């Protein structure tokens, strides 16, 4: 028994580890470009589908693509409609793993491991280290697959195991459903659709399950892989949850439709594979193995996702409406009730900087939006003059401090990993943004305290003082909105406008101090209310300085 269990589980372990290393290496090589491409996806769902297929094929991880999509939608960097098109493409892109496995390139596994180890451990340049990761992962993936196949081989001589696998028979609707559910469950457990494909191909190659049952297992894998997006959407915005639900709905409906026409689909796969790929029949047995079945399974996987994508692209607007109806929005509070801890950041992606930095950026944007809400509420208190309403700033400022700590802590962990210069610059930029948003919160705190003194003492600003107050608060508000948008758009060319806004606020501060002195001389305003106004104007000017620092961080100017 140990001759079966250890090679089978050990081979699966090598396959999963190789897949992880290869995926992470590919993401490190193409991660930044991947994020830039995803952020520029147009509203054309066909283009979005193509981009999703390309990105997922390049980074070899539909899970990473869907997690990033959910995060992008949650942060407002992509709308729900854009994300649905990309998801369909991601489903196609993930089938490239099965296609690679179907090519008989196991003999290159050990040379790839050797070359990958050499590049990773003996070449000092980071770029080649990442290439080494890709090659090492590639080799481990195929060596693990070969080991797993060898482990399954003795099962052909076991009557009890043959009886067990005979239950996976796609000759009836019940049998198809059993295979689909088993494939879905296996993918959820392994957290890798590629691993499920690898196990299925290994079992089929050894003749333990038939071609039809293999296809049904692969259909289940398409359902099981949606668990990743669902987990990523927990606690996210309504559109992020809709994106995850769309992914699940597309795959479930696609599988159900194929089950209805399962015999016809099997014939289509057999015809395409036999005619276009000149492969022999899938059940052909040579030396106790079925050498052709892997190609048929890989083509079934790809064909299913291509057909599903084409169908859903035609009816996408209607399905989007169904998803929106199934995931109704709920009224939210003031934007601070879920801000006590990080929301987008997941420590399991620290080893994958491209994903980790995307998550950190979204968290910084979330922090900026919360700062904007805090600012708007405090500056409007001059009209409402309600101390109880104004007291909310204390809890909010403490929340911002905690969020800053958690973001910086995460970025420090990312910086301690092996990252390229561009990623190092981005870490520094995000840290600077985070710290300056926290400083803005401190200055809003100063304004709130001044406002409390104004209201508590029963003081009022003069007409001229209110005019100056309105002018500078509006300009500072525009500056905060400007830098938040700059982070979202990754606008490296914003410094000219940022400098103009910062100089304008500085000019206002000097003019308003002069206006205050003139009002004092003419007896229009009291000393106490005037001094409070000057304190607030100084705080507004400091917020402008912080916004300028954030603009410099966006533009990567030290």
Q: Is 203 helix (H, G, I), strand (E, B) or coil?
A: helix
Q: Does residue 456 register a pLDDT over 50?
A: yes
Percent of the chain at pLDDT above 90? 22
191 versus 250: the higher-pLDDT residue is 250
Identify the residue whose tokens are 């409070």.
Answer: 532
Neighbouring residues of 26: CB distance < 8 A, sequence distance ≥ 6: 58, 59, 60, 61, 134
Q: Which of 259-273, 499-513, 519-533 has the lowest mean pLDDT?
A: 519-533
How far apart are alpha carbons 66 and 59 in whole angstroms?
Answer: 12
Average pLDDT over residues 290-307: 88
- Record: fold of 347-554: Methane Monooxygenase Hydroxylase; Chain G, domain 1 (1.20.58)
pLDDT of residue 306: 92
Angle between helices 353-384 and 2-39 (to 10 degrees): 50
Cβ neighbours for 528, distance < 8 A, ≥ 6 positions apart? 457, 459
Q: In the predicted model, is pLDDT for residue 57 greater than 90?
A: no
| Contact (CB, 8 A) for 65 and 352 | no
Torsional sign, CA 83, 88, 92, 97: positive
DSSP string for residues in 164-201: HHHT--TTSHHHHHHHHHHHHHHHHHHT-HHHHHHHHH
Q: Kindly list the domain boundaries of the chain, sorted by start residue.
A: 2-326, 347-554
Confidence at 238, pLDDT banded by 50, 70, 90: confident
Mutual angle of helices 126-152 and 2-39, in 10-degree steps: 140
What are the Cα distances from residue 433, in Å, to 111, 197, 371, 416, 437?
45, 43, 12, 19, 6
- The C-alpha atoms of residue 464 and residue 519 are separated, in whole angstroms, by 8
The continuous run of DSSP H or E covering 270 comes out as helix 262-276
Q: Is the pLDDT of residue 427 over 60?
A: yes
The span from the CA of 479 to the CA of 469, in Å, is 16
Q: Rounded distance, CA 220 to CA 236, Å?
A: 26
pTM for the predicted model, two decimal places:
0.60
Question: Mind listing the pLDDT tens digit for each residue in 73-127?
Answer: 765 566 777 788 888 888 888 888 788 877 777 778 889 899 989 988 888 677 7
Neighbours of 395 (CB within 10 A): 10
Please give the average per-residue pLDDT across 370-390, as a whole number: 76
Residue 291 has pLDDT above 90, yes or no: no
CA-CA-CA-CA dihedral for 232, 235, 241, 245, to nearest 10: 60
The span from the CA of 407 to the CA of 65, in Å, is 22
Q: What's the burial of 317, exposed, middle or buried (CB within 10 Å: 0-12/13-18/19+)? A: exposed
Instruction: Kindly give the residue spans of alpha helices, DSSP state H, lying in 419-462.
Output: 421-456
Dump strand ranges (E) for 276-378: none
Hey, what are 276's tokens? Answer: 């276009």
289: helix, strand or coil: strand
- With beta carbons less than 8 A apart as the criterion, state whether 554 and 433 touch: yes
Residue 512 predicted with pLDDT over 50: yes
DSSP label at 493? Answer: T
User: Contact, 39 vs 32, CB < 8 A?
Assistant: no
Kindly indicate the confidence band of residue 207, based on its pLDDT and cuts at 50, 70 and 90. confident
139-151 pLDDT, tens digit per residue, is 888 888 788 777 7
Calculate mean pLDDT across residues 510-538. 82
Q: Which residue has the higher pLDDT, 550 or 17?
A: 550
Check whether 334 has a pLDDT greater than 50.
no
135: Cα within 13 Å, side-chain hemisphere: 19
């Amino acid at each position: 028994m140990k001759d079966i269990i250890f090679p089978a589980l050990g081979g699966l372990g090598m396959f999963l580890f190789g897949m992880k290393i290869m995926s992470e290496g590919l993401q490190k090589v193409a991660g930044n470009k991947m994020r830039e491409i995803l952020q520029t996806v147009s509203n054309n769902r066909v283009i979005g589908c193509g981009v999703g297929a390309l990105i997922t094929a390049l980074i070899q991880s539909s899970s990473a693509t869907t997690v990033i999509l959910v995060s992008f939608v949650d942060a407002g960097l992509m709308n729900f409609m854009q994300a649905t098109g990309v998801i369909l493409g991601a489903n196609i892109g993930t089938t490239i793993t099965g296609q690679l496995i179907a090519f008989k390139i196991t003999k290159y596994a050990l040379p790839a491991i050797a070359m990958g180890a050499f590049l990773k451990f003996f070449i000092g340049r980071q770029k080649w280290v990442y290439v080494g990761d890709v090659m090492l992962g590639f080799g481990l993936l195929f060596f693990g697959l070969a080991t797993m196949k060898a482990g399954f081989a003795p099962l052909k001589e076991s009557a009890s195991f043959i009886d067990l696998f005979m239950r996976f028979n796609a000759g009836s609707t019940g049998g198809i459903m059993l295979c689909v559910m088993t494939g879905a469950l296996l993918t959820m457990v392994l957290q890798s659709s590629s691993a499920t494909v690898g196990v299925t191909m290994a079992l089929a190659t050894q003749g333990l399950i038939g071609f039809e049952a293999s296809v049904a297992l692969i259909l289940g894998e398409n359902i099981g892989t949606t668990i990743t997006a669902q987990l990523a959407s927990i606690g996210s915005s309504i559109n992020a949850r809709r994106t995850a639900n769309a992914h699940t709905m597309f795959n479930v409906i696609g599988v159900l439709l194929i089950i209805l026409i399962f015999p016809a689909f099997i014939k289509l796969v057999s015809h395409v594979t036999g005619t276009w790929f000149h492969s022999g029949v899938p059940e052909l047995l040579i030396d106790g193995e079925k050498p052709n079945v892997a190609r048929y399974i890989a083509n079934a996987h790809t064909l299913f996702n291509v057909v599903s994508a084409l169908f859903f692209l035609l009816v996408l607007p209607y399905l989007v409406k169904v998803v929106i109806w199934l995931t109704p929005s709920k009224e939210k509070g003031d934007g601070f009730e879920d801000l006590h801890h990080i929301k987008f950041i997941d420590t399991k992606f620290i080893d994958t900087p491209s994903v980790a930095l995307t998550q950190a950026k979204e968290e910084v944007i979330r922090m900026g939006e919360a700062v904007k809400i805090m600012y708007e509420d405090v500056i409007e208190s001059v009209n409402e003059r309600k101390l109880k309403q104004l007291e909310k700033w204390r809890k909010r400022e403490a929340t911002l401090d905690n969020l800053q700590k958690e973001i910086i802590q995460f970025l420090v962990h990312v910086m301690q990993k092996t990252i390229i210069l561009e990623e190092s610059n981005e870490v520094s930029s995000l840290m600077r943004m985070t710290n300056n948003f926290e400083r803005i919160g401190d200055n809003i705190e100063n304004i709130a305290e001044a406002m409390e003194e104004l209201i508590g003492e029963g003081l009022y600003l003069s007409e001229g003082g209110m005019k100056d107050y309105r002018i500078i608060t509006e300009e500072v508000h525009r500056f905060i909105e400007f830098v938040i948008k700059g982070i979202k758009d990754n606008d490296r060319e914003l410094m000219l406008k940022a400098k103009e806004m910062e100089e304008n606020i500085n000019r206002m501060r000097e003019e308003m101090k002069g206006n205050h002195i003139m009002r004092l001389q003419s007896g229009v305003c009291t000393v106490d209310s005037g001094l409070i106004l000057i304190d607030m104007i100084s705080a507004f000017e400091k917020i402008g300085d912080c916004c300028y620092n954030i603009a410099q961080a966006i533009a990567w100017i030290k």
